[in-house]
Structure 1
Amino acid sequence: MPVIELHVMKGYSDTDKSRLCEALTHAVRIVVPAPPEAVTVMIHELDPAGYMRGGQYRKPASALPDPATLVREYLFAMEARDIDKASGMLGAGFTMVFPGAEPMTKLEQLIDWAAPRYKFVTKTYEGFDALQTPGDAAVVYCRGTLSGEWPDGTPFDSIRFIDRFELTDGHLTRQDVWNDIAETKANS
């Protein structure tokens, strides 16, 4: 029965603390074979006036945004063709790689590349999985199925996909996409 005690300075919201407890529970379970209900996480909050490091009082850092939520917002903006909103979520050096395409750095490149492949595509999400890399990037995998119309107006659906995103400082810096759209098109 793992027990984790964490000390943080006051100032984090209940939502932030809940995210932290969930993340710590998942982290423990990668190593310790314990069901979630057997993992206890306790957060002890410190008054900033009662904490010094290096002889100086410190303030709590702001919580990072939930990377899975950012990816959902980006994908919803793309599906709605709100390119300005989606572009505003991209970080420096953003790169995206789609099946059969050279790496792209601008959303307009993706739109131009996709135009002869299908009229439109929508995604049905089965799940989002977020993790932190040893470096600065958070990684989010989303998976589900694609539906839409081929250029001739014929509908398609139930095409598997997985997208992998990297986020740094709350901005998307990489997107890798895998799907069965080419195989489905070739067999239709």
Structure 2
Amino acid sequence: MPVVQVSLIRGYSSALKQRLCERLTDAVRTTIDADPQAITIFLHEVDGDAYMRGGRARRPGGEVQTAGHAGAGNESPEQLVRAFLDAMQSRDLQAARALLADDFHMTFPGGVEMTRLEELVAWASERYRFVHKRFDAFDTCDKEDHSVVVCHGELSGEWPDGSPFAGVRFIDRFEVRDGKLARQAVYNDLALACD
């Protein structure tokens, strides 16, 4: 039965500690063939004044102190992606833009590359009137300096002539860096659906 013990400077939220325990459990499971119910994670909290490094007291724990995978509001990478996709579906470009890194880059089927949301809206308006996404799953993978979020499901909506479509498969892959969306790659079967 694997046991992991972590010491934290007091000050982190319950939600962040829960997320940390889930991620540590996942890390153990990918390394050791263990039932998740057999993995125990202990979080030990210490006061900031009880800890020194380099002869100096450390600041109290905060929500995000390392690579910055979470968003500015401490959303998980998945929550950040969901907020972006919700804002885009409702065409709230201002809310969506607030979640993007300055060097945000999108790639769509056919190798179409864009950097601005207005470009995407103009490009999409020639392909369909509107589209809705039904999500089957979200998966997150943490890298050293960013997180990758992949979601997949089905698209439904209306073609430019008003006829409906549904059941079109899609996959979106996002890179979250320093609490912002840095990259999006979109894969779908819309071209096959309109044949």
Amino acid at match of 2:7: H
1:131-163 superposed Cα distances (whole Å, 9 cap, x missing partner): 2112x1111111111010011111111111110
C-alpha separation in 1, matches of 2:162 and 2:33: 50
Say which SS state the counterpart of residue 194 (structure 2) adopts.
Answer: helix
Amino acid at match of 1:118: Y
Amino acid at match of 1:38: A
Equivalent residue for 1:148, pick from 157, 180, 183 = 157
Say which SS state the counterpart of residue 29 (structure 1) adopts.
Answer: helix
Partner residue, 1:27: 27
User: What pairs up with 1:56-75 in 2 under 5 angstroms?
Assistant: 56-59=56-59, 60-63=61-64, 64=70, 65=74, 66-75=76-85
TM normalised by structure 1 equals 0.95
Query: Shift in Å at residue 107 of structure 1?
Result: 0.3
| Range 62-71 or range 151-160, more displaced | 62-71
1:101-142 superposed Cα distances (whole Å, 9 cap, x missing partner): 4310000111111111111000011111112112x1111111
C-alpha separation in 2, matches of 1:92 and 1:43: 36
Partner residue, 1:99: 109
Equivalent residue for 1:125, pick from 132, 135, 140 = 135
- The number of equivalent residue pairs is 185
C-alpha separation in 2, matches of 1:86 and 1:158: 25
Residues 1:111 and 2:121 are matched in the alignment = yes
Question: Does the 8 Å contact 2:173/2:185 carry over to 1?
Answer: yes
C-alpha separation in 1, matches of 2:152 and 2:3: 32
Say which SS state the counterpart of residue 103 (structure 1) adopts.
Answer: strand
Query: Shift in Å at residue 61 of structure 1?
Result: 3.8
Segments of 5+ residues of structure 1 without an aligned counterpart are none
Partner residue, 2:174: 165
Amino acid at match of 2:55: G
- Identity among equivalent positions (%) equals 49
Partner residue, 1:184: 193
Amino acid at match of 1:10: R
User: What pairs up with 1:4-19 in 2 under 5 angstroms?
Assistant: 4-19=4-19
Superposed CA RMSD in Å reads 1.0
C-alpha separation in 1, matches of 2:20 and 2:82: 20
